[in-house]
């Protein structure tokens, strides 16, 4: 699906030529081991790079230029996966053929070069006033979690269930580590990102493959590097407490429950665990939706999600605070039911159909193609929809039952109003 070439040691270019889209998408991913300090540096860095560069020193100039290129979208962002931190640059531009008289493609390639290799430096480092302001932005971003009760409850459960572990480290770092960022430290972080990170470059669209390969080799002159490997995630981190209740001024109760599973992305049991999650609470036909919501009318949402990087399963539901015990009981009953093998042929067939549909749908998006290829390329086998379909089709009731038996309750977090 993607044609991969090596631009330098540790730097790979993946190109997909397709007439499916009216735009061309670029995605460049820089990866480094995740910890609180690097996350903070790199989150601020992605904002600073997005703000301006050596050619467009003011944000407004930079944005005006993008508008003129028919609203070319260009943004840097910070994210994480497993024990790695990612700085990414996403660019989406309109395919020239849909524009009456204009050619923007080459200008966009030049702009990508500028955004990466020509930072807005003063005396050899980032401009202090810009660094300070973007630090402020990241600090607000971290604080704003508090104002969204669902996100806050999940953030607290992550901290409780896996303290000092990649699962509870935010891609933006912490208030403390962001405060410590200086123009000097940020310049070092930038140099390390450009020269030491593992880099993957993706291009999807109706493009001339050879010409883009040639042009990108010139405009992205990354040097050879031996990327640092993140430390292997272990299960050493244990939950602080089994049950935590916290109160704020609010009406709804946010019930978040964390379970662990030994099964990780890429393991032989991974497809079985995906089916387990679908039957448990992944879809509108799942046991959680059908029982917590439809049968008991306890909630508007009740679902589970499986984080295969950390081996965690989370159940979330918004309930009347006084129904905490009842909702918790109904949730545990659903897990018990799966452990007892109470899984219908229909539930199994529905879950398989939904998983295959989801995978195929995400491949209809340029970003979906990039993300899926990026994730599955580490599995040392060529990715194909058919392979995954076959793996899911082979999963039996007994397999799902076995997965449920390995799922272990680790921590419960309940956030609710003060009077409850």
Tell me how far, at minimum, the Cβ of 229 lies from other proteins, in Å: 33
Tell me how far, at minimum, the Cβ of 365 lies from other proteins, in Å: 8
300 phi, psi to nearest 5 deg: -85, -40
Tell me how far, at minimum, the Cβ of 3 lies from other proteins, in Å: 18
Name which of 140 and 232 has its Cβ closer to other proteins: 140
Tell me how far, at minimum, the Cβ of 202 lies from other proteins, in Å: 16
Query: What's the chain's length in residues?
Result: 420
Name which of 8 and 145 has its Cβ closer to other proteins: 145
Tell me how crowded residue 156 is: count the other CB atoms within 10 A of its CB.
20
Name which of 133 and 264 has its Cβ closer to other proteins: 133
Task: Please list, in sequence order, all residues whose beta carbon lies within 8 angstroms of the beta carbon of residue 210, skipping any fewer than 6 positions away.
Answer: none
Tell me how far, at minimum, the Cβ of 140 lies from other proteins, in Å: 4
Name which of 25 and 261 has its Cβ closer to other proteins: 25
Tell me how far, at minimum, the Cβ of 252 lies from other proteins, in Å: 4
Strands 243-247 and 408-416: parallel
Name which of 102 and 396 has its Cβ closer to other proteins: 102
Q: Which two tokens stand for residue 307?
A: 């984080």
CA distances from 344 to 225, 279, 287, 350, 405 (A): 52, 10, 11, 10, 17
Tell me how far, at minimum, the Cβ of 374 lies from other proteins, in Å: 19
Among candidate residues 147, 184, 198, the one with its CA nearest the CA of residue 6? 198
Instruction: Answer for the pair 130, 51: CB distance below 8 angstroms, yes or no.
Output: yes
Name which of 32 and 48 has its Cβ closer to other proteins: 48
Name which of 12 and 293 has its Cβ closer to other proteins: 293
Beta bridge pairs of residue 319:
253, 299
CA distance 238 to 241: 9
Region for 71 from its dihedrals, namely left if φ exceeds 0, alpha if ψ lies in -120 to 50, beta otherwise: left
């Amino acid at each position: 699906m993607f044609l991969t070439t090596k631009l330098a040691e540790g730097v790979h270019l993946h190109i997909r030529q397709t007439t499916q889209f009216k735009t061309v998408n670029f995605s460049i991913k820089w990866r480094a081991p995740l910890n609180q300090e690097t996350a903070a540096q790199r989150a601020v860095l992605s904002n600073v790079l997005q703000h301006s560069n050596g050619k467009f020193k003011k944000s407004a100039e930079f944005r005006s230029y993008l508008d003129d290129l028919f609203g070319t979208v260009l943004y840097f962002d910070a994210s994480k996966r497993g024990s790695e931190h990612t700085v990414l640059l996403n660019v989406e531009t309109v395919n020239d053929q849909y524009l009456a008289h204009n050619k923007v493609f080459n200008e966009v390639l030049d702009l990508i070069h500028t955004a990466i290799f020509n930072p807005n430096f003063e005396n050899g480092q980032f401009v202090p006033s810009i660094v300070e302001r973007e630090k402020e932005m990241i600090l607000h971003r971290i604080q704003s979690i508090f104002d969204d009760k669902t996100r806050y409850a999940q953030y607290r459960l992550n901290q409780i269930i896996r303290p000092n572990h990649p699962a509870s480290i935010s891609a933006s770092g912490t208030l403390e580590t962001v405060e410590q960022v200086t123009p000097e430290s940020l310049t070092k972080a930038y140099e390390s990102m450009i020269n030491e990170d593992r880099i993957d470059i993706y291009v999807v669209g109706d493009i001339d493959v050879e010409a883009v390969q040639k042009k990108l080799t010139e405009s992205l002159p990354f040097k050879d590097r031996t990327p640092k490997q993140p430390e292997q995630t272990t299960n050493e981190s244990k939950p602080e407490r089994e049950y935590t209740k916290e109160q704020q001024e609010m009406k709804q109760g946010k019930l978040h429950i964390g379970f662990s599973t030994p099964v990780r992305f890429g393991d032989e049991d991974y497809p079985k665990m995906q089916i387990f999650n679908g039957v448990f609470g992944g879809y509108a036909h799942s046991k959680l939706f059908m029982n917590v919501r439809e049968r008991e009318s306890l909630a508007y949402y009740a679902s589970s999600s499986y984080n295969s990087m950390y081996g965690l399963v989370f159940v979330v539901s918004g309930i009347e605070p006084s129904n905490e015990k009842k909702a918790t009981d109904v949730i545990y009953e659903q897990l018990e039911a799966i452990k007892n093998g109470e899984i219908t042929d229909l539930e199994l067939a529905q879950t398989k159909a939904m998983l295959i549909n989801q995978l195929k749908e995400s491949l209809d998006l340029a970003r979906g193609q990039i993300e899926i290829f990026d994730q599955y390329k580490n599995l040392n086998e060529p990715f194909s929809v058919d392979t995954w379909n076959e793996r899911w089709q082979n999963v039996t009731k007994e397999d799902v039952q076995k997965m449920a038996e390995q799922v272990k309750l680790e921590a419960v977090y309940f956030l609710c109003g003060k009077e409850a």
